[in-house]
Amino acid sequence: MTTMKHSADARTKRSRQPGLPLSVIHADALYKPVPPVSLDDEGYICRDGRVSESTRHGRWLNYAVNAAGVVLEHMPDALVAYDLAVLFEEGNPRALVSPDVVVALNAGRQDRGSYKLWKETGPPDLVLEALSERTWRRDLRIKPSLFEDLGVREYWIIDPIQKLAEPIMGRRLRDGRYEPIPKALTGGWISDVLGAELLIDSGEFRLRDLEADQPFPTSRA
């Protein structure tokens, strides 16, 4: 089993070379687009050919996006997006990550091909990754320090491939650094951003209202 930890190498680079851009410090965390790749009018990626790892992987992520939309339905400016490219350095199309799920509470729900930090109200409030056989080590060991430096308030991992001691793992930003989110007495993990509990129910990933016994449905219907 593997536990989430900060990359010591990334911290060393930050302390020794503070003038470098984040795309250099965190080069190993950057997303490598999968052909065929589509670019927007400014030359930034907006779509590629990545496919889901497995039916469970896709099912958990589909639920995460739909249920988070239900959770935040009362917030008209809350963006919940699946597989959205997050670009964080203007003028550098390679400075991007593509989290499985992005939540930005004040970004607005207008259509966009990517999330460009210099055009948005700020960094995403929450990022969620579902582990896959191809990328689970990067999700656990490399990406957290980049999202930490970008100011993402919560970083969540769900584990459909059973690599971790627990199927859900979260980090919350405090004083500029991520701290582990402890398991709640109810058996899940509480997200301040969503105001909901992340848990596994009958072998499936679910979100639950803090005041309710039942998980959120998978759609607004």
DSSP class per residue in 120-179: SSSS-SEEEEE--TTTHHHHHHTHHHHHHHHT-SEEEEE-TT--BSSSEEEEEEETTEEE
Q: How many CA atoms lie within 13 A of 141 on its CB side?
A: 11
Task: Please enumerate in sequence order all residues whose Cβ is within 8 A of that of 91, keeping only pairs 6 or more positions apart, or say none.
Answer: none
Q: How many CA atoms lie within 13 A of 185 on its CB side?
A: 0
What is the pLDDT, as a whole number, of residue 16?
56
What's the mean pLDDT in 53-74? 91
pLDDT band (50, 70, 90) for residue 176: very high
Rounding to the nearest 10 degrees, give the CA dihedral for residues 130, 95, 143, 110.
-40
- Helix H or strand E segment including 35: none
What is the pLDDT, as a whole number, of residue 221?
41
Higher pLDDT, 118 or 211: 118
Higher pLDDT, 16 or 123: 123
Q: Assess contact for 138 and 146: CB atoms under 8 A.
A: no
Q: What single-letter amino acid sits at 149?
A: D
Higher pLDDT, 15 or 137: 137
* Cα 49 to Cα 84, 99, 158, 207, distances in angstroms: 13, 15, 22, 29
What is the pLDDT, as a whole number, of residue 114?
97
What's the mean pLDDT in 126-141? 92
Q: Assess contact for 159 and 169: CB atoms under 8 A.
A: yes
The answer, yes or no, to whether residue 210 has pLDDT greater than 90, is: no
The answer, yes or no, to whether residue 215 has pLDDT greater than 90, is: no
pTM of the full structure: 0.82
The answer, yes or no, to whether residue 173 has pLDDT greater than 50, is: yes
